[in-house]
Amino acid sequence: MIRPDPDCRLCGLCNGRTQVVYPDGNPGKGIVFVGEGPGEKEDIQGRPFVGKSGGILEEMMHRHGFSRDDVMITNTVKCRPPDNRDPFPDEMAACRPFLESELAEARLVVGLGKSAIRDIMGYVGPMADIVNVPVTIEVAGREVVFIPTYHPTATIYNKKSRSELNETMRVVSQWIRPPMRFGGFMLDMDGTIYKGGAPIPGAREFISFLREQRIPFVFLTNNSSHARSFYSEKLGRLGFDASVDDILTSTTATIRFLISERFGKRVYAVATPDVAAEMENAGIELTDEDPDIVVLTFDTTITYEKINKAYRFLKGGAELIATHPDDLCPTEDSYDIDIGPFIRMFEQMCQTQAVVIGKPNRLMLEMAAREMGVPPSETVMVGDRLYTDIAMAARAGTQSILVLSGETDRAMLRESDTVPTAVADSVADIPSMVLGARRGRFRSPL
């Protein structure tokens, strides 16, 4: 890497600088952030992005799980332009050889702001037309991916710019992380494999692919309105190759929790008849009188009588255990109110705190990994909800793929602090990820 001399006199910027601002960070990762001219604090400290804009940048990097140690940060010019103006063309030309040497080993270059984008890719049009649209540039005879985005200072008063820069950092995080490992899949159902009564396009082929590749999988659902047999029958009607043993519901996880952690306790179940029967068949003692525990499920047969019974038992000292925390359950064309509002109602009215078993509790993920015989670190959670599916994987330290076929869209992802390992439009995109990883070429879609 070529660096300018500390007493560089190649252009007029030398007359007003305090010191030359050299690159900062780790050039070995092959990811370079290029900003405009250094600011006042950068000029004083001799490091790029250490002022207010640097604080914004570091906060966004941290949100997505990386830091300055994972990238190299530099500027188009190495001396502060007077009054923080944009560098002039002759000043950029003088510093161009140094910038090109800094980009020589880059795999990915991120242009922060109009000046950097103009200098690197020659673009002078509206920023909104090109932000986060990857292009290929040539550096030292090599093709390199270039992502144009907003300068951090542009995000201070502009929510749209902040969302776009956050998305840039999400994409960068995919380049930094090691290749994904596809030892086994934990698959959400509602919004991921099917929505309401219709399969997601390409989902059946995805399951067939996993069977052909001998990759183990488990269907996970927080929906505790039915027994496991209902879901296996539903999957069969929709054309999926799946059995009861391939399914783990939040009810299943709750039953196992009750047996292992609350053995012998008497339970009042706010549940549909088939879910209550599943609990009873597993050896849970159900009662309508003086229970030790109230188990709250997604009871689509709930009545005022059931609500009042649960209330009185909880006020009398019974423990509240909920199968999952979801506020909404997806249907074919809309959403139904799920269990979350009832949890909050009972917690407030009874001055209690629910034990919540299903996603995002890592318990379900660990159960699924054991069933597949795969270490959790080798598994991938696939789901459409950031606050349950992806949050559970994050808590357990495992991999995740967010699919955009259900509840979450890219705008919601940009605003979220929960970051998936990868993002796909639907499960139909996952086979190419798996095959690409086996060929050593997988990278999350941009």
**Residues 292-308 pLDDT 10s:** 999 999 999 999 999 99
- Contact between 34 and 111 under an 8 Å Cβ cutoff? The reply is yes
What average pLDDT score do residues 61-88 get?
91
Q: What is the DSSP letter of 106?
A: -
Report whether pLDDT(178) > 90.
Answer: no
Lowest mean pLDDT: which of 27-36, 49-58, 298-307, 413-422? 413-422
353-369 tens-digit pLDDT? 999 998 888 888 888 99
Report whether pLDDT(309) > 90.
Answer: yes
Residue entry with tokens 């639907």:
426
The residue that leads in pLDDT, 423 or 196, is 423
Q: How confident is the model at residue 334 (pLDDT cuts 50, 70, 90)?
A: confident
pLDDT for position 437: 75
In degrees and rounded to multiples of 5, residue 429 shows phi and psi of -85, -15
Which DSSP helix (H) or strand (E) runs through 198?
strand 198-199
Report whether pLDDT(441) > 50.
Answer: no
Percent of the chain with pLDDT over 70: 98
Indicate whether this model's pTM tops 0.95.
no
pLDDT for position 413: 85
Report whether pLDDT(54) > 50.
Answer: yes
User: Do the strands 335-337 and 328-330 form a parallel or antiparallel pair, or are they unpaired?
Assistant: antiparallel
User: Do the strands 319-322 and 293-296 form a parallel or antiparallel pair, or are they unpaired?
Assistant: parallel
The 3-state DSSP class for residue 112 equals strand
pLDDT for position 106: 93
Mean pLDDT of the chain: 91
Tell me the torsion sign for CA atoms 418, 424, 427, 429.
Answer: negative
109-146 tens-digit pLDDT? 999 999 999 999 899 899 999 999 999 998 888 899 99
User: Do the strands 198-199 and 194-195 form a parallel or antiparallel pair, or are they unpaired?
Assistant: antiparallel
Query: What is d(CA 220, CA 205) in angstroms, rounded to the nearest whole number?
Result: 18
Return the ∠ at Cα 259 (arms to 315 and 230), rounded to 5°: 90
Which DSSP helix (H) or strand (E) runs through 294?
strand 293-296
Residue entry with tokens 């993002």:
423
pLDDT for position 364: 87
Q: How confident is the model at residue 271 (pLDDT cuts 50, 70, 90)?
A: very high
Q: How confident is the model at residue 395 (pLDDT cuts 50, 70, 90)?
A: confident
322's tokens: 């909920």
Lowest mean pLDDT: which of 31-40, 160-169, 419-428, 433-442? 433-442
What average pLDDT score do residues 80-103 get?
92
Q: How confident is the model at residue 421 (pLDDT cuts 50, 70, 90)?
A: confident
Query: What is d(CA 163, CA 186) in angstroms, rounded to the nearest whole number?
Result: 29
